[in-house]
Structure 1
Amino acid sequence: MKQKDELKREAIINETIAIVYDKGFTAVKMARIAKKVDISPSTLYVYFKSKDDLIQTIATDLLKKLTDIGQDQLKSELPYKLKFKAIWIFYINFGINNRKEVSFIHQVKQSPYFEMIPKEIRQLKSTFIFDLLDEGKRQGLIKNLDNTILSVLLEAFMNETVKLIDTKTLELNEADTNTMFALAWDAIKN
């Protein structure tokens, strides 16, 4: 069995994310990826058993990484609103600086691949966001509404903020970031 090279694995992952970003899942062909990263198709299968395994692995890793970083912010000793804002800014920055990865995650969530991701990973982000919202409710700072409704509202605000920055309608500056955060905060605050 061939030895795995971490740089080759990263190249395979990055090429797959780029293909999905540009053309969607149907354009992901194992032979094409192997050619782009300059390995043989048989070598590619040393790293990933199939296209499904490749996509599921990337999605699982991305979701776990994103949630782990957010959970670290949740442990912060900052007052609730500042902690909430720090998490908000982290996700906005992540969306801006990782467009291809965010697009990959969005596409996975709207496809059958999402069900291939282990359930505990699929639920990580919801659990993290729900914990954050529950903390705000316990402190009387957040409306006592269903967490699913609140989280969808916040995700829509974040996604649209990233789009507005991408299209240069908003600038990535303190004033515009504060405005968008204030609108989101006003929508959920008690």
Structure 2
Amino acid sequence: MGIYERKQREKKQRREEILNAARKVFSHKGFNTATIEEIALEAELSPGTLYLYFKNKEELHTTLSIEILKYLADEIQKVNSQDISVEDKVEKFYDVFIDLYDYDSDILINLFHLQSGETLHNISDDVLEQIKIYSTMAHGAIIDVVKEGIAQGIFIDEHPAALADILWASYAGIVLWVDSKRFLNNQKDFVKPTLKTAFKIISKGLRKE
């Protein structure tokens, strides 16, 4: 292995170490309270070194959100490629969404905030481009399933992108709104049962009478 290849490998490894440290600190302290200095300490690096890899705290947190978004896009595409009915595919979307929430609900919530907040203005063009790529992949895979259902005469004949938006927006809205109830009662998980009910309603609403 040459010098350049070794340096690239070391750079990639250090970047992963920073992300792992950031995940721990964000999970423990939350985004607003966590600092670059604390993340650097967890990663056993200087704050200046972190800035060589990430523009700011927002970009670091956004990069963790991109990992979840990429996973979501991959899993939805896997569902789309299965030889099962469109109704079963929509039901499997529920499983994917629940798995995503279980993996890291805090990062997932940040992802939803990203898509409607000002943070997108504070990140680099490269990170923004990654968000666009994986968002398009995930959304496109959902649209493909909806199109399939419409073509088969199973789903209502409405614009596929609009129907996909309703499914995605329902997921995001429920997670953001119902998760906020943890401030009132942190002993109960409201998100999963509410999502299950929502998917029953959405699945029923997609079908032709």
Same structural fold, with TM-score higher than 0.5 when normalized by the shorter chain: yes
TM-score by length of 2: 0.69
Aligned to 2:85: 79
Gaps of 5+ in 1: none
How many residues align? The count is: 183
Query: Cα deviations across residues 39-78 of structure 1 (Å, max 9, x unaligned)?
Result: 22133235x2411543443333321221011101110001
Change (3 A) 1:71 1:31: same
Q: Given residue 207 of structure 2, which amino acid in structure 1 is its aligned partner?
A: K
> What SS does the corresponding residue of 1:77 show, helix, strand or coil?
coil
Q: How does 1:1-190 map to 2 (within 5 A)?
A: 3-4=10-11, 5=13, 8-15=17-24, 17-18=26-27, 22-24=30-32, 27=33, 29-46=35-52, 48-51=53-56, 53-114=59-120, 116=125, 117-118=128-129, 119-159=132-172, 160=174, 163=178, 167-169=188-190, 179-190=197-208
Deviation at 1:23, TM superposition (A): 4.0
| Identity score, percent | 16
| CA distance in 1 between partners of 2:42 and 2:103 (Å) | 24
Gaps of 5+ in 2: 1-6, 183-187
Q: Given residue 162 of structure 2, which amino acid in structure 1 is its aligned partner?
A: I
| Mapped contact 1:161–1:180 kept (Cα < 8 A) | no
Deviation at 1:81, TM superposition (A): 1.0
Change (3 A) 1:129 1:17: farther
Deviation at 1:100, TM superposition (A): 1.4
| CA distance in 2 between partners of 1:140 and 1:64 (Å) | 31
| CA distance in 2 between partners of 1:54 and 1:66 (Å) | 19
- Measured on the aligned residues, the alpha-carbon RMSD in Å equals 3.4
